[in-house]
Structure 1
């Protein structure tokens, strides 16, 4: 195997017990996996010597490793950031796939004299300042419109150098005439005044509106003291605009400053992570990303990867990150908080609501395009909810019916891949049970069903469900033990009253979430078995009732009544039959008695 072809021990000896990033390469020297660790040697060695940590997918990865490289860093946070950058740059085959590759819009303050402020998707490393990214173009435009209403800025692309302005190369345009620009191109606005506006815009874009509000209040007071009421009113209008914008932000608590909040929701194939950026008591940024699993990564690993991605993307320098569970990251510069109550707990719950909504909508999209995804998801959920070892692709459910102990029948319905398989439904007319005895009925029917399955060498189902509580379940279990298949197929009972799920030899029932799709499928199975059983029971009861009525006629016994029904098919046809037709089944005396019973006029020939 691997250890014969690749001498991992030779590489391991060179790897230190330090935090960093490791990279795996295949025989073609192609990077196939990037990982981070707080102890590089221990983490890398676990792939080769600790079989318990290696699943089937990871074994495939390990089988392709032909070279190992590593990079040492000072802290785990640096390792996270480096790992994230390498994954985005090289897209290794076995790493988690970041699904949102599109570039999100940002607001740029251009590095130029009298800087322009506008939206862009392109990041140019020329000294310009970028703020964002924003989750949608609409969010970005709302911010730009507010900035435009507060500060007159130029939107032309003229080279407003000091020499060009002094040379008089430019003339003011319509934007100056309508008040959207103060005309720096003709020297009508100083660079200091323009730069002061830009500084305030930077604070707003960072979410620090409190300093801008304070500055505006000071300027309003100065203008009023100098009797410049026109300027004071103009500044007051700006203040109202800014406060109106701030009120539309999700205010959490004025006591919270510069906090990141992350939460995660995942299934067997995908993970979704939501990010909230908190500044001065308000949520100023939010985004959800999707990760596609490659090696059955844990939620801890995925959350660490997402944190690195968000902190890079949003250039976050927050010293505290609120998380849903403890992360094994040792870094003195950042505090990880798992809140139990208070404002931080509410923030985490808000983040979790967002990520669950995003997950639900995404999975619905995927399942519309590929219905098999829903089947796999639902069966996987059932496997988890019911603590099964295999996916319940083939389920058989049994239900009994009787009328005051008479005409006992049982029905079996079959679901395959979560859907009814009606061609496999079966009825059972109970043979050995007298009176209303559900336990004995269940025992007979389960015995007859699986004796036949065994004799015909058919596959056993992945799950057996009996409609009833502990009594019916115990009867079924007794038969499965007699047939030596009890440990080969799981069996549960469902009680109608509180939708309780019972397991053999466990007196405490399981309660599944009422909104769970697992419970909905179990209820569908139970209801379908009941419907199918009742339909058959009614037919049998009706037939039995008619037999009893015919037997009331003098000279007609049980056998003769059955022959009549078999010949004429229905009571309606029996009543409408002529004497000649009846004589095909009955003798003359019986035929006349029947005709007299149903009120027909007869003439004896």
Structure 2
């Protein structure tokens, strides 16, 4: 919620690029964002007419403080934003999640660089190539490096004893100890070989093959036959590797293809990158993104690309970037790549031809990753599911496990003070922070069907508007009539079908399902029935308790409004301030006068004096 403090801060923000950080009352970071002009961007969140998703509206209501960090450019803001998001994992940011640490190939920052696999990226001046989607892909590359160049691919040094001198002898690696390593080459030769390795890793095989052929011919003409033989073996290894790679585009251009796909059931998205160099697919990489709900494909794709290009690993920019969707802010990416990578790369969405087919292939890959992810999550969750949840899923033939259950009940006294309740159970346990009660507003008289329709309409209209969590199962307290009214209400707001709904009749504990004529009788000893009874009884208890409180407050309020000159507003003001009629009776005249004025205070005191028996 916007306070005067925040208003003042916004008014004093600079019109410069930077990063803004929103915090809640506890000081926890809610959101980190970047801006070209900080004041304009931050102000846009608090403007009444701004179009925002339900998720962002919810976040804005929680904001109690903000911080900004001014940067030299929008590109610097992009890097800082990514670092802060990774460091703090704010609740309302799109987060890229890893279930594993991806492997990289590291080329160390030394006179004689070592080349070895690692899962840890350190800012030590070394070059990190990757990430590789699979260990096997990385191992194949290291094997080609060994075969083509005989280069050291070990990460450790080995200490042995020089028997001739009886002194310690250091070997750069195990390969050096076996005599099959390049550590004994001249520095110039070693560094030239490292340049060839980087070309190989970056997919520049055509260029590398041409260079190796030229060097081999020069060595042969100079009758350096040993060197020529070495270059021949290198050429053969690189050529075999290149021939195994699939040609996926007609032209030999370098391209990165980025796509994103969503799975609303698990509330996650998957970004996939295809790396094409010289027309050949040299690598694939994917990341899971959470949450997916409340974000467009364009927003998710923007986050995926920004994270990839601003990461610490070595990036060789392509000639073109192809996308599955438009970006939210293409300009900031262009600025970053031009400023930090000294290259201007066009972004395109292919509509036909081989590039469009590749985008389609990448989207299919993303869907497969999400399907695998959903199965893995389901398996993981299945191991933690209470028996009652599994039983309920089985007996009612539900499409998904009823992990989250909402149950509704009405309460009134001869049509007076009509109220309703909603209780929430998660994994068969009450989640009291999600309980809600309702005053019935549109129904006159004791009409349980209409009351049920009203509260379901209000609850799930709010869920749709604010992007709130959708339950797995809705339970209404009642039989066919209550269920029919509930189904009709959900259909009218377009919510029917988002989750399952049942009615639970009290008399015989019958379960009614939409579209089914006969009731389902769950065995009385089943944990599933016991859970439904617990959920129903809790909704009833919560509704009755709220109804009693409403009746009590209205009775107390009506006593004050019986006093001449005291209206409902004044009665509520006094009850809110002092809590009860008993406390108001004890007040001194001057105290009461300070709250509601001398005239009204005298009338209240006169009433209590003449009604001491109350």
Shorter-chain TM range is: 0.5 to 0.7
Of the candidates 364, 367, 370, which is equivalent to residue 375 of structure 2?
A: 364
Which segments of 5 or more consecutive residues in structure 2 lack a partner in the other structure? 160-166, 336-343, 383-392, 403-456, 462-470, 500-513, 519-614
Q: Does residue 344 of structure 1 match 2:355? A: yes
**Aligned position for 2:147:** 149
Distance 1:134 1:278 in 2: 14
Please report how far the alpha carbon of residue 117 of structure 1 lies from its aligned counterpart in structure 2 after TM superposition: 1.3
Of the candidates 48, 51, 63, which is equivalent to residue 50 of structure 1?
A: 48
**Aligned position for 1:299:** 297
Aligned 8 A contact 1:213 1:239 in 2: yes
**Aligned position for 2:324:** 324
Distance 2:491 2:229 in 1: 83
Superposed CA deviations along residues 442-480 of structure 1, whole A, max 9, x for unmatched, are: xxxxxxxxxx95xx55543537xxxxxxxxxxxxxxxxx
Of the candidates 193, 218, 223, which is equivalent to residue 222 of structure 1?
A: 218
**Aligned position for 2:385:** none
Distance 2:73 2:47 in 1: 26
Aligned 8 A contact 1:95 1:295 in 2: no
1:594-605 pair list within 5 angstroms? none
Q: Does residue 460 of structure 1 match 2:485? A: yes
Of the candidates 10, 28, 31, which is equivalent to residue 29 of structure 2?
A: 31
**Aligned position for 1:375:** 400
**Aligned position for 1:499:** none
Aligned 8 A contact 2:257 2:273 in 1: yes
Distance 2:141 2:490 in 1: 66
Of the candidates 207, 211, 215, which is equivalent to residue 211 of structure 1?
A: 207
Distance 1:146 1:487 in 2: 61
Distance 1:301 1:490 in 2: 26
Distance 1:303 1:201 in 2: 31
CA RMSD after TM alignment:
4.3
Please report how far the alpha carbon of residue 284 of structure 1 lies from its aligned counterpart in structure 2 after TM superposition: 2.7
**Aligned position for 2:407:** none
Distance 1:174 1:24 in 2: 52
Distance 1:132 1:24 in 2: 33
Aligned 8 A contact 2:96 2:287 in 1: yes
Please report how far the alpha carbon of residue 307 of structure 1 lies from its aligned counterpart in structure 2 after TM superposition: 0.7
CA separation of 1:255 and 1:488: change in aligned 2, threshold 3 A: closer
Deviates more, 1:135-144 or 1:47-56: 47-56
Please report how far the alpha carbon of residue 171 of structure 1 lies from its aligned counterpart in structure 2 after TM superposition: 7.8
CA separation of 1:296 and 1:183: change in aligned 2, threshold 3 A: closer
CA separation of 1:368 and 1:177: change in aligned 2, threshold 3 A: closer
Please report how far the alpha carbon of residue 322 of structure 1 lies from its aligned counterpart in structure 2 after TM superposition: 1.4
TM-score, L = length of structure 1: 0.57
CA separation of 1:125 and 1:80: change in aligned 2, threshold 3 A: closer
Of the candidates 247, 261, 270, which is equivalent to residue 265 of structure 1?
A: 261
Superposed CA deviations along residues 409-461 of structure 1, whole A, max 9, x for unmatched, are: xxxxxxx9799x9xx9xxxxxxxxxxxxxxxxxxxxxxxxxxx95xx555435
TM-score, L = length of structure 2: 0.56
- Structure 2 counterpart SS, 1:297: coil
Superposed CA deviations along residues 325-352 of structure 1, whole A, max 9, x for unmatched, are: 2223223544221111233323322221
**Aligned position for 1:120:** 118
Please report how far the alpha carbon of residue 159 of structure 1 lies from its aligned counterpart in structure 2 after TM superposition: 10
Aligned 8 A contact 1:6 1:65 in 2: no
Distance 1:71 1:177 in 2: 52
Please report how far the alpha carbon of residue 487 of structure 1 lies from its aligned counterpart in structure 2 after TM superposition: 8.3
Please report how far the alpha carbon of residue 223 of structure 1 lies from its aligned counterpart in structure 2 after TM superposition: 3.3
Distance 1:50 1:130 in 2: 47
- Structure 2 counterpart SS, 1:119: strand
Superposed CA deviations along residues 25-59 of structure 1, whole A, max 9, x for unmatched, are: 22343322112344433432232223563444333
Q: How many residues align?
A: 402
- Structure 2 counterpart SS, 1:250: coil
Superposed CA deviations along residues 525-554 of structure 1, whole A, max 9, x for unmatched, are: xxx98999xxxxxxxxxxxxxxxxxxxxxx
Aligned 8 A contact 2:182 2:190 in 1: no
**Aligned position for 2:568:** none
Aligned 8 A contact 2:249 2:354 in 1: yes
Superposed CA deviations along residues 468-511 of structure 1, whole A, max 9, x for unmatched, are: xxxxxxxxxxxxxxxxx99858899xxxxxxxxxxxxxxxxxxx
- Structure 2 counterpart SS, 1:460: helix
Please report how far the alpha carbon of residue 119 of structure 1 lies from its aligned counterpart in structure 2 after TM superposition: 0.9
- Structure 2 counterpart SS, 1:462: helix
Distance 1:159 1:171 in 2: 6
Superposed CA deviations along residues 171-199 of structure 1, whole A, max 9, x for unmatched, are: 88984686622562xxxx31112222112
Q: Does residue 191 of structure 1 match 2:191? A: no
Distance 1:182 1:48 in 2: 63
Q: Does residue 88 of structure 1 match 2:99? A: no
Distance 1:362 1:157 in 2: 36
Deviates more, 1:172-181 or 1:313-322: 172-181
- Structure 1 counterpart SS, 2:321: strand
Aligned 8 A contact 1:46 1:53 in 2: no
Please report how far the alpha carbon of residue 130 of structure 1 lies from its aligned counterpart in structure 2 after TM superposition: 1.8
Distance 2:245 2:517 in 1: 54
Distance 2:71 2:262 in 1: 30
Aligned 8 A contact 1:24 1:32 in 2: yes
1:402-413 pair list within 5 angstroms? none
- Structure 2 counterpart SS, 1:9: helix
Please report how far the alpha carbon of residue 158 of structure 1 lies from its aligned counterpart in structure 2 after TM superposition: 5.2
Distance 2:55 2:170 in 1: 67
- Structure 2 counterpart SS, 1:355: helix
Aligned 8 A contact 2:272 2:287 in 1: yes
- Structure 1 counterpart SS, 2:32: strand
Of the candidates 8, 11, 20, which is equivalent to residue 9 of structure 2?
A: 11
Please report how far the alpha carbon of residue 147 of structure 1 lies from its aligned counterpart in structure 2 after TM superposition: 0.5
- Structure 1 counterpart SS, 2:400: helix
CA separation of 1:106 and 1:86: change in aligned 2, threshold 3 A: same
CA separation of 1:376 and 1:389: change in aligned 2, threshold 3 A: farther
1:68-87 pair list within 5 angstroms? 68-73=66-71, 76-87=74-85
Distance 1:248 1:28 in 2: 57
Which segments of 5 or more consecutive residues in structure 1 lack a partner in the other structure? 161-167, 378-387, 393-415, 425-451, 464-484, 493-516, 519-527, 533-605
Superposed CA deviations along residues 367-388 of structure 1, whole A, max 9, x for unmatched, are: 34447997399xxxxxxxxxx9
Distance 1:457 1:107 in 2: 63
Q: Which has the larger Rg?
A: 1
